[in-house]
Structure 1
Amino acid sequence: MSKIEDARKFYARLMAANAGSADPRLEAVFAEVPREAFLGPGPWTVIAGKGKITTPSADPVHVYQNVLVALDADKGINNGEPFLHAMWIGRLAPRPGETVTHIGAGTGYYTALLARLASPGAVTAFELEADLAARARKNLESYGNVTVVQGDAVKTNLPPSDIIYVNAGVAVPPVQWLKALNPGGRLVFPWRPAERVAFAVLVTRTANGFACDPFMGSWFIPCSGASVAGPTAKIPSRQQAARSRSLQLIADKPPDRTATAIFDDIWFSSRGLDARSRD
């Protein structure tokens, strides 16, 4: 086994162990998809805390660690932390044949992982930055189930999706993202209604509505067009945000005393879909 193959396999074992997923395919895809193919030529700039380090060479072994790698340093766009993505993908548990929408695809590395897990299901990857979208399109040419769209996923109607995977911070998810979820569909996004509040939230569309689970801290660059709450919003404290257990559309039901956060079209509730109020 070559040095790079050995590094990929160990990296994949770390990702699967961190995710705690029972699906052996998760480790397999992290081992099979070459991360360096999505980063551009090395050496690479690695983000370490608030600093930046350049890898000592273009040897891809350097990127098989839990590190962010800069894609566009001026805009703060990175190929994100692998541990975080392994946890998110493990929590979503993509199944073969499911349809996936990836918002904020960058150059396509995590799109590729999702595409392998959901194959033969269709994957639509949205990337707002034209240069990154062009790179993603080239990087994903061999993935026959992936379509890359250079465009604004906030202003575009998404395809019906079993999974929506969002890699940009939002104050509140647009209503059309929720409506795009198929029954049983899952949406994971970085919820950042205020600087002090930053959670990864998993939303599941059930027969009774939209269940939500703020399951870990999460920081991403802002999502253009969806990162600022309106002036009348009720912004949650970190504790209130963590207690949120369901999302409601205001058009269907006005906010009540269980509301942990209220926005123009959506409110979050401490009431689970099958549980009593937690206020």
Structure 2
Amino acid sequence: MTDLADVRRFYARLMAANAGWADPRLEAAFAAVSREAFLGPGPWTVVAGNGKVETPSADPVHVYQNVLVSLDADKGINNGEPFLHAMWIGRVAPKPGETVTHVGAGTGYYTALLAQLVSPGGAVTAFELEADLAARARKNLEAYGNVTIIHGDAVIGGLPPSDIIYVNAGVAAPPAEWLKALKPGGRIVFPWRPAERVGLAVMVTRMDKGFACDPFMRSWFIPCIGASAATPAPKFLNRDKAARSRSIWLTADKTPDRTATAVIGDVWFSSQDVGGRRSQ
């Protein structure tokens, strides 16, 4: 019989290796947080391609793989793919003492990992729009003194000043208020869905003179209500054009110019970086 602690430690090593982040705290966090505690009682439904498979038992060993686990099948809400989240967390590189806002917390598994990584001294504010999931997250995270769960809409409610905004629902563009909530040097990572066939994970960093933009991988998430279709999709926008984006601007601060890859609501994306260099 394999010891569950050994399984969790091996899983954590895989997550850290996939993230490519040298900080050993990522592996430690994945080893410390029990995924099954955030999934409800097993057996669990695993999403595989276009199908679903039920685990053969309620043995937690089955969920320590790179699999999506269904949380609300009717709404298509899952506990997301661990490899993806390990990569994203490695990108934003949470540090002790930082403040994180988590948009789309689900039942709180990745919220717990973020809370571990900003300890000591840091805090996580997690928004979840679905009442049932927010209640489950609040219960699951009772032991985390540095986490606040908010059942509410992160799009219309405003975000607290943040070093990191971690978004787990697809947006046509990040609302201007999210960008304004970033502290100097702050990072936001989000699934960008500006058009039906365009899905990219993007990290934006607040620089002295603007917001640097890095589309770093393909990504598909369920839509973020209120921020997924604020305006018609930009004409002629395809994945290659979107991937050339190197900065993002508030239209109130800078008028879109010929470098624009997409203009969506009150923000626009540019193929020119904040230093004025064009992407190739």
For the criterion TM > 0.5, the same-fold answer is yes
Number of residue-to-residue matches in the alignment: 279
Q: CA deviation at 1:231?
A: 3.3
Q: Distance in 1 between matches of 2:82 and 2:8?
A: 12
2:56 is matched with which residue? Answer: 56
Q: Distance in 2 between matches of 1:255 and 1:102?
A: 29
Q: Distance in 2 between matches of 1:264 and 1:170?
A: 12
Q: CA deviation at 1:105?
A: 0.1
| SS of the residue 2:101 aligns to | strand
Within 5 Å, give how 1:264-279 maps onto structure 2: 264-278=265-279
Within 5 Å, give how 1:235-254 maps onto structure 2: 236-254=237-255
Contact 1:232-1:264 within 8 A present in 2 as well: no
Q: CA deviation at 1:232?
A: 7.7
1:183 is matched with which residue? Answer: 184
User: Where in structure 1 do 4 or more consecutive aligned residues deviate above 6 Å?
Assistant: none
2:7 is matched with which residue? Answer: 7
TM-score (norm 2): 0.97
| SS of the residue 1:84 aligns to | helix
2:172 is matched with which residue? Answer: 171
Contact 2:108-2:141 within 8 A present in 1 as well: yes
Task: Give 1:5's aligned amino acid.
Answer: A
Moved more, 2-11 or 214-223: 2-11
Q: CA deviation at 1:251?
A: 0.6
Gaps of 5+ in 1: none
2:81 is matched with which residue? Answer: 81
Q: Distance in 1 between matches of 2:135 and 2:84?
A: 25
Residue 37, structure 1, aligned to residue 34, structure 2:
no
Gaps of 5+ in 2: none
| SS of the residue 2:127 aligns to | strand
Q: CA deviation at 1:269?
A: 0.1
Specify whether residues 151 and 17 from structure 1 end up closer, same or farther in structure 2 by C-alpha distance, changes over 3 A only.
same
Q: CA deviation at 1:2?
A: 5.9
For the aligned residue pairs, the C-alpha RMSD in angstroms reads 1.3
Q: Distance in 1 between matches of 2:95 and 2:186?
A: 11
Task: Give 2:229's aligned amino acid.
Answer: V
Q: Distance in 1 between matches of 2:241 and 2:77?
A: 29
Q: Distance in 2 between matches of 1:242 and 1:233?
A: 14
1:197 is matched with which residue? Answer: 198
Q: CA deviation at 1:3?
A: 1.5
Task: Give 1:17's aligned amino acid.
Answer: A
**Deviation digits for residues 194-231 of structure 1, max 9, x if unmatched?**
12100000000010110000000000000001111413
1:142 is matched with which residue? Answer: 143
1:216 is matched with which residue? Answer: 217
Q: Distance in 2 between matches of 1:97 and 1:207?
A: 21
1:23 is matched with which residue? Answer: 23
Q: Distance in 2 between matches of 1:161 and 1:169?
A: 20
